[in-house]
């Protein structure tokens, strides 16, 4: 069960097991630019390496039986970056699919996205749409890519739609509750994240899944995303496994949520 021999008690606790694996892990993949700068490379080389690293992390997530892996690839705020960098990042999904789709299909991965998809360039939409179609029957790990995603934007869209539905009598205001609101978000078909990881030493959410992470655990590392390898990922899993989640109650019991 992924346990290594000859470790003392303290070290043993740091080995991830396949019990109590977070069902949904959301990752803020940060530090591509600094990874490149440290090596005297252009920022874009960091994004390329970051893209290739997704393969490793998907394989590790699959190995542990994670159900959903949400990756923050491009935020609604990332449009503020130089056009050349935006253009490059938005070409990466197509490249990723071109290189890795056969392997993802073989590994039974299902590709989904969250975010303002219609506002992405046509070439990004087309490539991702095709990958979604070709993996829609897979029932293994969901690789959920946050593309042009912003939590506040998502909430504004939800509030607009809720208002319209109330005005047209499709929704009764008295019936509005947390579950109904969740059903208006991009993540409506997904469980809320159990664990949020951010790489590169930054410790903020940057408009990522603000509603959905209400009871998530957070894990931060100084490691830059392109260097976030299987070992570091396993450390995050093992730390999660040693936490006590109480959901506002007194024990690890979601029904006691407050």
Tokens, residue 195? 């664990």
- Residue 168 makes CB contacts below 8 A (sequence gap 6+) with none
How many residues interact with ligand FPP (rule CB under 6 A)? 20
Residues 199-218, one symbol each (x = binds ligand FPP by CB under 6 A, - = not), give: -x------------------
Residues 212, 218, 222, 226, CA torsion sign: negative
Which is the catalytic residue, given 32, 78, 144, 148?
A: 78
Kind and range of the H or E run holding 58: helix 43-64
Query: What are the tokens at 206?
Result: 């940057």
Find the binding residues for ligand FPP in span 143-162 (CB under 6 A).
145
CA distance 27 to 4: 27
Distance CA 176, CA 166 (A): 10
Q: Which range binds ligand FPP by CB under 6 A, 50-58, 107-115, 118-126, 180-188? A: 50-58
Q: Does 47 bind ligand FPP (CB under 6 A)?
A: yes
The residue whose Cβ lies closest to ligand FPP is 33
104 touches ligand FPP by CB under 6 A? no
Residue 216 or 223: the one with the smaller Cβ distance to ligand FPP is 223
Which lies closer to ligand FPP via its Cβ, residue 146 or residue 185?
146
Indicate whether 112 belongs to the interface with ligand FPP (CB under 6 A): no
> Which residue's CB is nearer to ligand FPP, number 92 or number 162?
92
Min dist. Cβ of residue 96 to ligand FPP (A): 3
Interface with ligand FPP, residue 96, by CB under 6 A: yes
17-23 contacts at long range (C-beta below 8 A, 24 or more positions apart):
17/238, 17/241, 18/64, 18/65, 19/241, 20/240, 20/241, 21/64, 21/65, 21/66, 21/237, 21/241, 22/66, 22/193, 22/194, 22/195, 22/217, 22/237, 22/240, 23/66, 23/67, 23/68, 23/191, 23/194
20 is catalytic: no
- Quick check: is 118 catalytic? no
Return residues touching ligand FPP (CB under 6 A).
29-34, 47, 50-51, 54, 71, 73, 78, 89, 92-93, 96, 145, 200, 225
Residues carrying an active site annotation: 30, 78
């Amino acid at each position: 069960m992924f346990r290594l021999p000859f470790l003392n008690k303290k070290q043993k606790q740091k080995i991830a097991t396949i019990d109590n694996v977070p069902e949904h892990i959301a990752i803020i993949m940060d530090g591509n630019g600094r990874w490149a700068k440290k090596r005297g490379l252009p920022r874009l080389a960091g994004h390329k390496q970051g893209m290739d690293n997704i393969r490793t992390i998907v394989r590790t997530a699959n190995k542990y039986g994670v159900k959903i892996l949400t990756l923050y690839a491009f935020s609604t705020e990332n449009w503020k970056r130089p056009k050349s960098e935006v253009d490059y990042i938005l070409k990466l999904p197509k490249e990723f699919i071109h290189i890795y789709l056969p392997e993802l299909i073989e590994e039974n991965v299902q590709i989904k996205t969250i975010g303002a998809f219609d506002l992405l360039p046509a070439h990004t939409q087309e490539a991702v749409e095709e990958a979604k179609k070709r993996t829609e029957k897979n029932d293994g790990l969901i690789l959920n890519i946050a593309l042009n995603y912003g939590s506040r934007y998502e909430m504004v869209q939800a509030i607009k739609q809720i208002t319209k539905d109330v005005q047209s009598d499709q929704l009764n205001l008295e019936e509005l509750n947390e579950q109904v609101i969740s059903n208006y978000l991009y993540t409506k078909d997904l469980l809320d994240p159990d664990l949020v990881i951010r790489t590169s030493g930054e410790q903020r959410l940057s408009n990522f899944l603000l509603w959905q992470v209400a009871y998530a655990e957070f894990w931060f590392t100084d490691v830059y995303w392109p260097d976030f390898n299987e070992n570091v990922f396993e450390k995050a899993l093992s730390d999660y496994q040693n936490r006590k989640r109480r959901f506002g109650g007194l024990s690890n019991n979601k029904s006691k949520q407050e």
